[in-house]
Amino acid sequence: MNRSKEKRINKLKKKRIWPSILGLIVILFIFVVVMTVALFASGMDIVQRKFTESSRKSLKVAELFEDYDSETGEKIEQTVLSHIDVLEEIDAISVIDADRNPVWSSSGEYPVIDETINIVFLTGITGEEINVILNEDTKQVFSVEAGEIIFNENILMKLFSVSNYDVTVPFEELKLWLVIPVNGFEVLVLNNVPIYHQDFLMMGICILLCILLISVFITYYLISIISMVFNVRKTKKIIYTDMVTGGDNWLLFTRKGASLLKKNGKGKQNYALVHLEMRKYRSFCTCFGVNKGQELIESFYAALRKEIQKNEVMSHQEDAKFGLLLVYTETEQLEARIQQLKNAMNAVLPGMKMYFGAGVYLVRHGEYDVEQLYNNAMIACEMLGEEAENKIAYFDVEMNKQKLWERKVEDDMDRALANREFQVYLQPKISTSEEVLGGAEALVRWIHPTEGFISPNRFIPIFEKNGFILKLDDYMLEEIAKVQAGWLAQGRKLVPISVNVSRAHFTREDLAEHICAIVDKYQVPHSAIELELTESAFFDDKKVLLNTVQKLRTAGFPVSMDDFGAGYSSLNSLKELQIDVLKIDADFFRGADVEERGLLIVSEVIDLAKKLNMKIVAEGIESREQVEFLIEQECDLIQGYFYSKPMPVEEFAQKYNM
């Protein structure tokens, strides 16, 4: 898998959850901090207001002593008792002189002011400084810093205590002594500041609302995280599920396979990648329908799944093709295992005979790229060919070289055609009557700029498989038409030159018109160009073939059948197909042990062709004895190395005075 595709898949399936969880934790932390700060700030504000109110009361008491004159000896009791309404709001009043000697106390108590007590100066109504003293009982209820009173956690704990939740009874009473300098005296006022639960009612309501709000938010957030978890799992399932079988798909196969190979790093087990496919699956779909074909694939998958062991993996690849990573001990045991898998697949439709091919790559130590290794197994299976049924092929280096060559040919073929790298060679056909030139066959040779001369058997099969042979045939036909037109313009005598027409052409019904258009462009007589078709073309659309041949013969083109005798329906094709020339396959003249039988068959074929008014061409002739035999049998033309190898057009024209 390429990196960009893998990156996109990983991004899709790895939607990370931890950022959401971390975000939730951060939000909860911020909420706790904010609520704590808000709680203390609100509590501090409430107590601060209570304290401010007590300070006002204390200042009113201090105002009673503004007119007090110690010289006159006025009794302090009288001064205080004359304002009894103020005194009722105060727990105690004490007066000391400038030297801090007791003067008078309503309760007989005089608080001690020493250096250990934290004092802050506040400005009172009179403009004088007011000393605020900490609670003398606990000295922990308040601490005073820079003129601000900070709410103490002891009060907070009591606020939320349920043991004393009577709204009529304060849950805390703060004892505050205030020292107020007046007329050379220091008036000490003891304030009793009661704090009730109801003082914090609004703050409590706000806290509850905030808790409710954050609870809703957290619930929503948790639901989102849970939903994300399920979505990630669902996404992974979709990514890793094959849409036909419902099982593991190819992506998961490659990942699991790579994981197994890496775990087997020390090579304790032998692994083999197997490409297993049903032959002619498309034909099955044509006969029974695509839906039945998919049902068959599902059944195959289920049958194979039962045979797979714990430390093995498998997956559907495409069509009726499956990839397997199998454990094996010896190759014989592996082949028996593959045959067992084929038998399991055959058992899906017991009444129908099915054929399977298998390509195998034996994984070596340190190889983990499952896709590349599996591709090797596919190459091995392709090398079996369509005709090989129920066979097993092992990948080797030569197969890879062949695939690389095919790739190079396909990369270069269009450029080669445009640059005229395909050269026309002519092999003469010699008349047996006078042993003079009676015709020629056009053959293609590829002169590659880097590879040099490339034999046709190295590129023609590739072109036939990928369809490029159609372009090459048209190119060869046009080149021969040009050559014939040139010779005609020079006043030379023309001999028929045969050009191959591949079976792939006979899929088009206007083939005859197409050939006429190419040749007529150069105004060459149709009789000067012979069209060769192979016997295998007869196995395709017979109706189109017969119709096209009839049109070509009507247009004046001689039509010949190449490689007669190479197939299995030769006589039947002669019965239905009207042709002008019959070319006897060279295999009849090869092999010492069958020479006598072969020559007997050739003799009978020549006799049969004569009766059907056909000319006979024997190709592949390499000895004088064969020539003498063909002359004796009254064969019309001989083609082979005995007379000449294929040669370039210029050399051919010079040799035969064309």
Could you report the per-residue pLDDT of 147-197, keeping only the tens digit for each?
333 344 455 455 555 445 555 566 666 676 777 787 777 778 777 777 776
User: What is the rounded CA–CA span in Å between residue 317 and residue 276?
Assistant: 10
Pairing between β-strand 559-564 and β-strand 581-584 as defined by DSSP bridges: parallel
pLDDT over 50 (residue 101): yes
What one-letter code names the amino acid at 146? A
**What was the pLDDT predicted at 414?**
95
Average pLDDT over residues 514-529: 94
Count of beta carbons in the 10 Å neighbourhood of residue 72: 8
In this predicted structure, the answer to whether residue 261 has a pLDDT above a threshold of 50 is: yes
Exposure string for 417-448, b = 16+ CB within 10 A, e = fewer = eeeebbebbbbbbbebeeeebbbbbbbbbbee
> Cβ neighbours of residue 388 under 8 Å, at least 6 residues apart?
357
> What average pLDDT does this structure show over 82-91?
60
Report the C-alpha gap between 219 and 375 in whole angstroms: 51
**pLDDT of amino acid 122:** 37
Check pLDDT > 60 for residue 136: no
pLDDT recorded at residue 385: 63
How far is Cα 336 from Cα 344, in angstroms, rounded to an integer? 12
pLDDT for res 139? 34
Confidence of residue 119 (pLDDT cuts 50, 70, 90): very low
Whether the Cβ atoms of residue 12 and residue 235 lie closer than 8 Å to each other:
yes
| All residues at 6 or more sequence positions from 608 whose CB lies less than 8 Å from its CB, including other chains | 574
Per-residue pLDDT reduced to its tens digit, 523-577: 999 999 999 987 666 656 678 888 889 999 999 999 998 877 665 446 777 777 8
Spatial contact of 428 and 656, defined as CB atoms under 8 Å apart: yes
- Please indicate whether residue 207 or residue 330 has the higher confidence score (pLDDT): 330
State the pLDDT at residue 127.
37
pLDDT at 165: 52
Per-residue pLDDT, 312: 92
Question: For residue 474, is pLDDT > 90?
Answer: yes
pLDDT above 80 (res 204)? no
The pLDDT of residue 135:
41
Strand-pair category, 581-584 with 356-362: unpaired
Q: Check whether 639 has a pLDDT greater than 70.
A: yes
Q: Name the band, by pLDDT with cuts 50, 70 and 90, for residue 202.
A: confident
* 3-class secondary structure, 431: strand
Give the residue-averaged pLDDT of 125-136: 40
pLDDT of residue 477: 95
User: In angstroms, rounded to a whole number, what is the distance separating the alpha carbons of residues 121 and 331?
Assistant: 100
Model confidence over 647-658: pLDDT tens digits? 999 999 988 876
- Provide the pLDDT for residue 75: 65
Q: pLDDT of 297-352, one tens digit each? A: 999 999 999 999 888 999 998 889 999 999 999 989 999 999 999 999 999 888 88
Average pLDDT, the chain: 79
Most confidently modeled of 97-111, 151-165, 200-214, 635-649? 635-649
Instruction: Name the residue with higher pLDDT: 564 or 482.
Output: 482
Average confidence (pLDDT) over 508-515: 90
Tokens of 47: 């107590």
Of 390 and 519, the one with more pLDDT = 519
pLDDT of residue 129: 40
* Residue 440: per-residue pLDDT: 95
Structure-model confidence comparison of residues 189 and 67, the more confident one: 189
Number of H helices, E strands in the chain: 20, 23
637 pLDDT band (50/70/90 cuts)?
A: very high
**End-to-end alpha carbon distance in the chain:** 59
Cβ-contact 528, 496 below 8 angstroms = yes
What is the pLDDT, as a whole number, of residue 153? Answer: 47
Residue 180 forms beta bridges with which residues? 187
Per-residue pLDDT at 128 exceeds 50: no
Of the candidate ranges 344-348, 515-519, 591-595, the one whose mean pLDDT is the lowest: 591-595
Q: What is the pLDDT of residue 644?
A: 92
Higher local confidence (pLDDT), 215 or 19: 215
Question: What is the rounded average pLDDT of the residues 387-397?
Answer: 71
Which of 18-32, 57-71, 114-128, 252-266 has maximum average pLDDT?
Answer: 252-266
Model confidence pTM above 0.85: no
CA separation, residue 403 to residues 135, 218, 407, 429 (Å): 97, 61, 6, 36
pLDDT of residue 383: 78
In this predicted model, which residue has the larger pLDDT, 592 or 105? 105
